[in-house]
Amino acid sequence: MSRFFVSCVAAVFLAVVPAHHASAQAPARAQGTARKARVENHPRIHSAIRELQAAKEELQKAPHDFGGHRADAVQAVDRALEQLRLALQYDKK
């Protein structure tokens, strides 16, 4: 799989995880407020989903196969999208 694509997917996850980690360490009183805001919004996760969907479409519509990496890249995007959607569902519980 393309190192560039793997790096991009990793960057998306790294952008999401610190935001969750920081709010998880907030004091109990502030944590309730922060959690309520996170449950309602999650703008970075929603943005990551939109960007990954756009990247997948671009990969699929491209006139070449990126040196044989297109199929693996599309599968990686699908797995990343699935994990982000599961994270959003879990947070609703």
Q: How far is CA 4 from the centre of its chain?
A: 16
* H or E element that contains 9: helix 3-24
Q: What is the pLDDT of residue 55?
A: 97
Question: CA 89 to CA 81: how far, in whole Å?
Answer: 12
pLDDT in tens, 8-30: 555 555 555 554 444 455 455 55
pLDDT in tens, 34-57: 555 544 569 999 999 999 999 999
Tell me the Ramachandran region of residue 67: left when phi exceeds 0, alpha when psi lies from -120 to 50, beta otherwise.
left
pLDDT in tens, 53-84: 999 999 999 999 999 999 999 999 999 999 99
Please determine, for residue 88, whether its predicted confidence score (pLDDT) is greater than 80.
yes
Q: Residues 63, 88: contact at Cβ < 8 Å?
A: no
Q: Where are the alpha helices (DSSP H) in 1-93?
A: 3-24, 28-40, 43-61, 70-92
